[in-house]
Structure 1
Amino acid sequence: MKFKFKLGDFFLLTGTIIAFVLSIVLWIFIMTDDQHFNHIDQPNNATQEQAHTHRTKSVYDLYIPTNSYGFNKGKLCRLYDSKNNLSLAFTKELKNIKFKSIKKVSSNQKQYEKLLNDPNFIQLAYPDEVTFHLFTKINMKKGNREFRRIFISSSDKWLYVANDKNSSIYRVKLEKANFSLLRHYAKNAKVKIPIKFVRLKNDYTVFYPKPVRWRVYSYLTDAQSDSYFVSRLLGTSNVATRTSKDGRTTYSLNYYTKLQVPKSGNNNNHNFLYTHYEKAKSPTATSRLLDSVYYVHRLGLNEQNLRFFDADRNTVSYSNYIGGIPVFLNKQDLQADTTFSTDSVVLAFNSLNLQIPIPFDGQTKTLQSTDDVVKSLEKKGLKQSEIQRITVGFKVEKDNSHEGLVNLIPTYYIKAYDQWKNLAEWEKQDFSTSSNFGQQNEGVN
């Protein structure tokens, strides 16, 4: 019995020593493992990861080519089909594509214009330049990394992308691409309107050589309350101050974050202004495009028809697209403008939601040719050389027959001196009051 007792003590002592040494080893491993420290701040990291995941997902929702072009009976046409959307078909396929290489093949303007008018390609176009790194992390050599147009050939192994501003053309090799559905939609598109491309100040713009009849759409609208946006942008319990001036109310979370809400009453224009002050490095083109997605999503607006529309200096703008053309609110306002600087982010947005479409009643409006529009503007004093972009867009007009009902009226919108105005507004502009009108309005959006 005495021998067994000593043997038991030996095993007990040995087990204790092993457990003690093992606990020390595990403690050292845990305390020197980076994952341990990552999980200390897990709630914050989880929030950032969720934001990044949603931002990446939303890139394919908001950055969609808004126009498609192809040839019909030997003529270059704008292609549109409300049921078989070419741009959405391309974007869905884009998610599955692997980019093997991107190579610049030309920067010659004549070659560029030849590609614009090549009947062997289906062309998809963004309203303004986007960057390669929105969609791929592939390394590129130094130089311009932006493009506006995508050219789909009969091959699924490659495509071309192009930049209007400097006539750059890139050849992109692909893996796992299949554009057969896109080609089918292009061939059978119900709307094929003859167009031509005309180079304006910076870009090639679609001109309609003949008058075109456009549909008038109607929508029931709604608008979220001020408290909804205060809650989403400032939180539910941390708003420190509330001040009112000239009928406008400003809510402040602290000195660095505030939200200005529109005036109440019948003249409410639904325009909000969110400002967040924070020191940061000057953002790159890609980071501006990506970060603006995060801020727009925070608003909680209806994003079903929301698309990237314009990128001007440090501002990224989004608009609703109905029937393939953008909607302008309050004459020239867009749905959301995000402006980045080294010390702040400013988000100007409109809370009006196009909620329920009213069945089309056959109402249309015929717009004059784009050439006639340019001639009219030149007579008023706006030279073609100062016009940056021209597009057909919708002007929102209230319909008095029903509360919240609006009609979307097609009209020409022109961007000049970094300002968007409809044709009637530019025709009323007095350019003779100052010889340096453009310089006085430089930087105004």
Structure 2
Amino acid sequence: MTNLTSNEVQFDGASVVDPAGRVFQYNNRIFRAIPGEYVDIYKNFLNLGNISEIFAAGLIETWVSEISLEGYGLVLEHKKIPDISCWSERCSLMAKDAAITTCKLNIELAKNGYITKDLGHDNIQFTNGEWVWIDFGSVAPMETHGSFRFKPFRSESILPIWLWSKGYSRLARALYLEFNDGYLSQTGNNKFLHRFPLRYHLIQRKAKKNTDIVSILHELLDYIEGLDVSPKISTLNGVGINGKFNENSSLNNKRANVIANLLDTVNPGLFVDLASHTSRYAELAISRGYRAISIHKNDESASFQYAAGKKNKSSNLPLVIDLLEPTPPWGYSFGVPSAYERFHAEVTLAIDVVHRLVLEKHVYFEPIIKTIASFTKKIAIIEFIPKDDPLLNNQLSDDKEWYSLSTFIQAAKKQFNAIEVLDLSPSIRKLVICSK
């Protein structure tokens, strides 16, 4: 038994309000300190005969630790989730699957008289191709905490998913992003919307009269699974069937060979594709032992890649993030780090970044390089497309005379220690390898 004091551990910045326990890190492992009055509750829960089925339904794998912490009656250890995504970074298909997992988990919990008392988006995370409910402390006996919380689940999860299924993607994402003290604001609960979607409203009413919560949750699960939020291929720009980017295959293959060789020079950790059009590079990194995250600029592109990855059982994590305005720190005392900190990668890839941000955001090279550097721990692989490349087709106006490889390299030297330019001939494009 290892006996620790509070000064020897690092408490999670977001774990500040739950009376049932507090999460902390020690030796790169994740633990939860349980106060004395909750010890029997969680010991009894972990001793349930079907606890393996509950873990299989999505609850984070948890066990009694060999560690003790001063002031607490019990310490549990959780399986570590390496890359934590924010709810606002997820696409519509991910939102739907997260809601499905929440229902499936609560069905298994309810069979044993338990429920999740907190249905916050960030309590569930996508890792290694699966959804996992990480807030073990939200599991509570129904006899003391009541039944499933249908009202917040509707406003936080169901209403945006329903809007996505009706084709109102912009409204759905706006509602999905709305956040106020841990809940969506009153938009989804106003007198005009509180009865929508109608079928969910009827399920919620039935739950008030029916004590068989398991059957009600099964009905809710069927309803969510029937909502179609699949992206339409016609809405995707430059992405074809199975998420393959429509471009010259010779260039694509040569680029992939260079990237593969560079990946092999770094001890595998996190790989981030900063402007993903294809899962090819993420899968390339995964095959070499990396964890992979693919950043998309819109919901449709991320959903399309997520669906393809789900079919192929990929561990790649596609997210929707604005590169120039990534997710800032948030939560109580900003306990959840920014996207820069959460996704600080050994290797970053920026294939469709530089020219796109210059054209769409009208920014100079400096903020683009600074953004790439902020995500990069060791190596950034950046493709530079010259003005006379057919892809640009004279799109760069006369006021962008500064757009050149030499100017780009000057900007890169301010953020990186070493710069190397690799040829992609016969293409005139270049790969700029920036190292820290």
| TM-score where L is the length of structure 1 | 0.22
Q: Which has the higher contact order (CA 8 A, sep 6+)?
A: 1
Identify the structure with the greater strand proportion. 1
Identify the structure with the greater helix proportion. 2
